[in-house]
Chains A and B, each alone.
Chain A
Amino acid sequence: MELASNGYLDMELLRFTTAGSVDDGKSTLIGRLLYDSKSIFEDQMEAVRQASMVRGHEEVNLALLTDGLRAEREQGITIDVAYRYFATPRRKFIIADTPGHIQYTRNMVTGASTAHAALILVDARQGVLEQTLRHAYIASLLRIPHVVFCINKMDLAGFGQNVFSDITAQLRAFELKLGLQFVHFVPVSAKWGDNVVDRSERMPWYEGPTLLELLEEIPVGAGIGPGARFPVQYVVRPNSDAFHDYRGYAGRVAGGCFAVGDKVQVLPSGQESVIASIDLYRESLTETSGAQSVTIRLRDDVDVSRGDMLVKNDPLPVTGQDIVAMICWMNPRALRQGNKYILRHTSAEVRCVVRTLESRVQISTLEEVVPCDALEMNGLGRIRLRTTRPLVFDAYRDNRNTGSFVLIDEGTFETVGAGMIVC
């Protein structure tokens, strides 16, 4: 059996998100990626063929492959984050497909939070819109390493090189301002498949990779920051005869690497101990690799519970109650100075108060505007928080796991804000 030798059981996983404005063909592009990479099954295709016919579309409408909910099929727009899966012989992909409609921008932040790459669609006829910049800004704010601008509907722009280079130049001007890490541009026609999976014969002037080639080549990093961080999720105590004194700290590595024998600190208490063993089911590991879920035992009988973090001094994270963060607001009830929320950060949960709402980001100019007294739904701003108990954190730019948090409304328990710690 060649399952092992051909790497079938050991592929890389790339998570990417997609964003675009209404009607710029995002669902069609994803439908095209799935269809041309042969990820669509016959019964799915037959259902789409039937549905297209019923709606009186001339051709098979690939967008119907991904528009899942009844309300969206009726309105013709995607209303929530939907996840899609496909694989090529080289990689497995998870797509977080997010809607472009302005009131649903919170969903792009959701989809972007776990992504290695962002695909942002631009309608070749419309050029760069405020929505395009909003999406690019969110990608930069969430520190998505790779941003791919797909200039779509090139068929309706005569497959012209000028159209593509004008839009590229416009976006380049913002790129520096946004501080994006790696930026790519691909001219495509999702409807006809040009440069999506197969190279376009109608745009010979474009010499770069097709969209799928690009997605197969983008490096997938370890995905976690360098400093060793282990938020304790759950304490494993079997209380059985066979494992009478077993006390293990279960969690998922949120940064760096831990090895048996390493000296660790338990924060926020500051107690020190040494790693006695790293358990993964019946196996014992000598060290962790990437974002593994393991159970760590310590040599000393120290007081550790959920919400604490095991760390190494390489360097230490911040332990404190005052936090400055960028926040994306996701609820119709606005964020105001003085409001109190539940704050969830790694496995810790504390209460917090918004000390000051320092500024709001003006998307059209990408500038922070002061002063402001409320942050409305889909607004982005900078806030200063005070927590009831100390949190153990890093800046978001250094570690996406220990630098992120969500705010929860104390009355409704809805998730109302997504925060990225500045310092």
Chain B
Amino acid sequence: MEYMNHSTRSHLRELEAESIFVLREVAAQFERPALLFSGGKDSIVMTWLALKAFYPARLPFPLVHIDTGHNFPETIHYRDALVEQTGARLIVGSVQDSIDRGRVVEEKGFHASRNMLQTVTLLDTIAQHGLDCCMGGARRDEEKARAKERFFSHRDEFGQWDPRNQRPELWNLFNGRKHMGEHFRVFPLSNWTEMDIWQYILLEGIEMPSLYFTHEREVFCRDGVWLAALPCIPRRDSESVEVHRVRCRTIGDITCTGLTLSEANSLEDIICEIAATRVTERGGRADDKRSESAMEDRKKEGYF
């Protein structure tokens, strides 16, 4: 196929080259970097790009998974298989542990989510392993506050982001200099869009978790969003369980992952579905709906 040829000036190849460049800068500039792996498509693509960047050597950094304890079992299977295949080192930070040790208090009620609690577990994991740089799969097209994020994002000793005082980032010169106790978040996929991610997965033939393809599932509807009918989300009496063919458009913690009614059974189907979609992928994310600047507030606290 012609589009598989590296000599074409495909936008995907340009994005790939840029991301590989960023991943190598991280390995060169930091002493203890790590790649934040959520099991979602973005972190899967980021891991794929990292494998390409350092081949035939193994990844020069571990994968870090912040486990809310409310993950789809498919996510955990995929993660473990990936670690097995690539020989990557895996660090798991557990939100349940943070709760048990009294570092955080579990939210109560129908909208309870461990999404906010993840921030504490993440910062604890960073401190415990002395990580000086965490790479995330966030993209600038996801959300308004993300659009202002640098590739190399400096965090103070409290892990906080100060959007008014970001370092200017010019050409492809990334400044990872920092003081003791500070760290960086780096986003190699900054310039990718949701469509680019799926097109690249197709182009490269990357195997994806089954959750992204259509499957039958017990679901219920809350505020116009379909959620999985699993014990970690308490339901109101009025919220009845139905069975539908659904797929995940993003994969996060079960409590905040909206499911899309879909018949998409292949990567080509997914790409066509996204091309026709009229709602953003974060439209299904309960965590963004809390207020108009929900993401900005979480990021300032040290969220992903």
Q: How far is the CA of A289 from the CA of B195 in the complex (A)?
A: 24
Q: Is the CB of B58 within 8 A of A347?
A: no
Which residue in B7, B21, B163, B170 is a CB contact (below 8 Å) of A80? B163
Q: Is the CB of A12 within 8 A of B178?
A: no
* Distance to closest chain A CB from B275 (angstroms): 9
Q: How far is the CA of A79 from the CA of B145 in the complex (A)?
A: 12
Kindly identify, within residues 56 to 78 of chain A, every residue whose CB is under 8 Å from any CB belonging to chain B. 66-71, 73
Q: How far is the CA of A282 from the CA of B202 in the complex (A)?
A: 18
Q: How far is the CA of A9 from the CA of B200 in the complex (A)?
A: 8
Q: How far is the CA of A404 from the CA of B174 in the complex (A)?
A: 12
Please give, as numbers and ranges, the residues of chain A lying within 8 Å of B16 by CB-CB distance: 293
Q: Is the CB of A282 within 8 A of B55?
A: yes
Contact-size category for B: 35 or more
Q: How far is the CA of A217 from the CA of B191 in the complex (A)?
A: 22
Q: How far is the CA of A80 from the CA of B268 in the complex (A)?
A: 37
Q: Is the CB of B279 within 8 A of A84?
A: no
Q: Is the CB of A85 within 8 A of B140?
A: yes
Q: How far is the CA of A114 from the CA of B28 in the complex (A)?
A: 22
* Distance to closest chain A CB from B171 (angstroms): 5
B280 at the interface (CB under 8 A from A): yes
Q: How far is the CA of A347 from the CA of B141 in the complex (A)?
A: 28
Q: How far is the CA of A84 from the CA of B141 in the complex (A)?
A: 6
Kindly identify, within residues 14 to 29 of chain B, every residue whose CB is under 8 Å from any CB belonging to chain A. 14-18, 20-21, 24-25, 27-28
Q: Please, which residue of chain A has its CB at the minimum distance from the CB of B277?
A: A41
Interface string of B160-174 (1 = CB under 8 A from A): 000110111111110
Please give, as numbers and ranges, the residues of chain A lying within 8 Å of B277 by CB-CB distance: 41
Q: How far is the CA of A67 from the CA of B144 in the complex (A)?
A: 8
Q: Is the CB of B24 within 8 A of A293?
A: yes
Q: Is the CB of B145 within 8 A of A68?
A: yes
Please give, as numbers and ranges, the residues of chain B lying within 8 Å of A107 by CB-CB distance: 168
Which residue in A87, A240, A246 is a CB contact (below 8 Å) of B195? A87
Q: Is the CB of B279 within 8 A of A42?
A: yes
* Distance to closest chain A CB from B27 (angstroms): 6
Interface residues of A (CB under 8 A from B): 1, 3-4, 8-13, 41-44, 47, 51, 66-71, 73, 79-85, 87, 92, 94, 106-107, 109-110, 113-114, 220, 233-234, 236-240, 242-243, 246, 250-252, 279-283, 285, 289-293, 295, 306, 330, 342, 344-345, 347, 400-401, 404-406, 408, 413-415, 418
25 A/B residue pairs, CB under 8 Å, sorted by A: A3-B271, A10-B2, A12-B11, A42-B278, A43-B279, A43-B280, A66-B147, A68-B296, A83-B148, A92-B196, A109-B168, A233-B21, A233-B24, A234-B28, A236-B56, A240-B57, A289-B6, A290-B9, A290-B14, A293-B24, A400-B171, A401-B171, A406-B171, A408-B177, A415-B170
Interface residues of B (CB under 8 A from A): 1-3, 6-18, 20-21, 24-25, 27-28, 51-58, 140-141, 144-145, 147-148, 163-164, 166-173, 175, 177-179, 190-191, 193, 195-196, 199, 202-203, 268, 271, 277-280, 283, 292-293, 296
